[in-house]
Structure 1
Amino acid sequence: MILDTNALSAFVDGDVAVGDILRRESRAALPVIVLGEFRYGIAMSRHRSDYEGWLERHLPAFDILTVTEDTAVVYAALRVALKKAAQPIPANDAWIAALALEHRLPVLSRDEHFDVVRGVRRRGW
């Protein structure tokens, strides 16, 4: 399962529902895009040292999904399809959706705009 930034943030902040979902999954993956957004949030947080410590301790438990040329092909096709359907989504979420399609993994997110991406399975909480 791929975690979107809001799912990662909820998990780090102790959201029990997210923790329960992740315990039932065989794989937890973080797109490098999510890691960048989360690190930005850490840099802007007044609790920076707490979040940096959590990340240092727990990051090794996640698979980090990087963007490749194959991902770029999926991303471009996805963006074209969404534009033609007049259903754009934020660019970072389009990258996350492309990685979800490429790796055939569901996305744990509260962002309902993932639901308009054909082939992406979003799990909310």
Structure 2
Amino acid sequence: MSRYCLDTSAYSHFQRGHQGACDIIDEAQWLGLPSVVLGELWLGFNLGFHLAKNQSLLTAFLANPTVHKIVVDDQVARLYGELSAELRRQGTPIPTNDIWIAACAAATHSVIVTFDDHFRHVKRVGRVLLG
């Protein structure tokens, strides 16, 4: 079963019609969208010029039965702490929100779909690097 966890870049490129992102999302049997990604998207929507359009697209996306919101719970918080410590020990820190996204992927046994190469430093989580 194909289980994917989208980061903000993957969702944004999907909405712009990027073929690789569209292919992954179309084939997925389970898609996770972390609450951290939702927050980043809402930030972009509120700073941009197309709030109503972006809100409508997101609402439609979330209505898809294969899409599941991944919330930060105790398990995700524990994994965040573990992954943060591992990355610091390796000397390869990545942006904080991306560690939360990786923790969400680890908790749901899903693969991160991203355009951000720094996820390669997170050894516990698989990734599909687009672009």
Determine if the TM-score, normalized by the shorter chain, exceeds 0.5.
yes
SS across alignment from 1:119: coil
Within 5 Å, give how 1:41-120 maps onto structure 2: 41-61=44-64, 62-120=67-125
Residue by residue over 1:21-64, the C-alpha shift from the partner in whole angstroms, topping out at 9 and shown as x without a partner, is 11111111100000110011011111222111111222222200
Query: More deviation in 42-51 or 85-94?
Result: 42-51
Paired with 1:70 and 1:58, the residues of 2 have a C-alpha distance of 26
Instruction: Output the amino acid matched with 2:60.
Output: R
Unaligned segments of structure 2, at least 5 residues: none
Query: More deviation in 33-42 or 58-67?
Result: 58-67
Name 2:11's counterpart in structure 1.
8
Q: CA deviation at 1:70?
A: 1.1
Query: More deviation in 17-26 or 101-110?
Result: 17-26
Instruction: Output the amino acid matched with 1:124.
Output: L
TM-score where L is the length of structure 2? 0.91
Please, what is the CA RMSD of the aligned residues?
1.0
Residue by residue over 1:75-115, the C-alpha shift from the partner in whole angstroms, topping out at 9 and shown as x without a partner, is 10111111111110100000000111111100000111111
Paired with 1:3 and 1:35, the residues of 2 have a C-alpha distance of 10
Structure 1 segments of 4+ aligned residues over 2 angstroms from their partners: none
Paired with 2:12 and 2:74, the residues of 1 have a C-alpha distance of 28
Paired with 2:122 and 2:20, the residues of 1 have a C-alpha distance of 24
Percent identical residues: 32
Query: More deviation in 54-63 or 73-82?
Result: 54-63
Instruction: Output the amino acid matched with 2:48.
Output: S
TM-score where L is the length of structure 1? 0.95
Instruction: Output the amino acid matched with 1:113.
Output: H
